[in-house]
Amino acid sequence: MNTFDVRIYAIRRRRSRRRPYEVRWHAAGRARSRSFTTRRLADGYRAELVRAASHGLEFDPGTGEPACWAARPAAAVSWQEHAAAYAAMKWPQASAHTRAGIADALVTITPALTTPGIGRPPPAVLRAALYRWAFNPAQRGTDPAAAAALRWAQRHLCRWPAWTTRR
């Protein structure tokens, strides 16, 4: 069960250590600390802890850090999911030619990342499905011919560890 009981202390300097700057805090009745090589790094980490506590975020008793900093489960993300998210992120600010360039670049690399498999669609069909449907956020629906190619690609693309961020 997460807790809101957090006390954050001043940075302590320990001269004889490899990482002399220590951030100390109490979360869920247990003392925590983390050491840094520079004062600036320690101060930044402490500021993030203070900010999280002042915003009322819950702290995880296991790690002592805000629960929202915890790493997400190590679920794998396929290249297609990652590339589609990238295209969707870039789409609103991009001009028409830039959008076409982003889609073309993603379509060029995607077939190279597929593993061999039975039922591989012809290269032209796969490229058309990826270009028109998978990497085009304005066209979220699919036609039946492209849907089979996209399902095949989803099953046969390399899987990557999930990219996570602390914030």
pLDDT number for residue 160: 57
pLDDT number for residue 164: 40
Query: How far apart (Å, rounded) are the C-alpha atoms in residues 101 and 96?
Result: 9
Q: What domain count does the chain have? A: 2
Residues 90 and 55 in one domain: no
Among 46, 69, 92, residue at a domain's last position:
69
Q: What is the DSSP letter of 133?
A: I
pLDDT number for residue 140: 66
pLDDT number for residue 75: 58
Residues 57 and 99 in one domain: no
* Element of type H or E holding 30: strand 30-36
Tokens standing for 10? Answer: 């001043």
Model pTM? Answer: 0.51
From the CB of residue 103, how many other CB atoms can be counted at a distance below 10 Å? Answer: 21
Domain limits at 140?
77-160
What are the pLDDT digits (tens) for 9-24? 999 999 999 999 999 9
Residue ranges, the chain, pLDDT below 70: 1, 71-76, 140-142, 158-167
Among 69, 85, 111, residue at a domain's last position:
69
Residues 65 and 94 in one domain: no
Contact indicator for 58, 6 with CB cutoff of 8 Å: no
Among 48, 69, 90, residue at a domain's last position:
69
pLDDT number for residue 12: 95
